[in-house]
Chains A and B, each alone.
Chain A
């Protein structure tokens, strides 16, 4: 089975712009979670989507949003970029139907640099 894929792998944007990141989960997985990784804050949960619905959200401002499509692919969007949004954004997929924490499999990440 193919693993979790994320596109693009690298992005450079300027402050004030917006960006969209994409994640394709492992075939058959219906849950997609997003995490932000920075040297200062470490790995932080952004949100989780399951069957096209956001069912869990971390403590991030409303500039961070996401969605999930019927094929389970997910996108996250960051509007009005700030320098502090520079990070590695990781997507993880899991089966998602158990009602509790599944084993999550991570993609390679998208490295976002905001100038």
Chain B
């Protein structure tokens, strides 16, 4: 079955510390991969995406993610967290052929940032 796993439901980091949010997927073929962020009461904002090519992708707000095919992972990183990064983060996968726009989301990781 197709699925996305975000092992950490809740993470707390200090402002200025580095961050890594984990994402693992189970999919029939290499999917397209996305990270979205959601602030309370808001919709989802796209942080970055991986379709093909360089496995290290850069996104907005200083985030990056690395696709590792052998580990079926697409972890999100940021070298120095800001208080404004506190939000919920979702990893999502979609088909790279056929299937069109049907994203499967992980359960999300809620990030808290201590001053």
Contacts and interface: CB of A to CB of B under 8 A. Distances in A.
Interface of A: 4, 6, 31, 33, 35, 42-45, 48, 50, 55-56, 58, 90, 92, 94, 96, 99-109, 111
16 contacts: A6-B43, A33-B102, A33-B103, A42-B106, A56-B102, A96-B100, A100-B99, A100-B100, A101-B96, A101-B101, A101-B102, A103-B34, A104-B46, A106-B43, A106-B46, A107-B43
Interface of B: 31-32, 34, 36, 41-46, 49, 90, 92, 94-108
A48 to B, nearest CB: 5
A104 B45 CA distance: 9
Contact of B100 (A4, A58, A99): A99
A45 B97 contact: no
A106 B32 contact: no
A99 B98 contact: yes
Contacts, number: 80
B45 A106 contact: yes
B34 to A, nearest CB: 8
Contact of A104 (B31, B42, B96, B103): B103
Given A100-B95, A101-B32, A103-B49, A48 B101 contact: yes
Tell me if A's interface is mostly helix, strand, loop or mixed. Answer: strand
| B interface majority secondary structure | loop
Given A100-B97, A101-B102, 4 more contacts: A31-B100, A45-B104, A56-B102, A100-B98
B105 A56 contact: no
Nearest to A45: B102
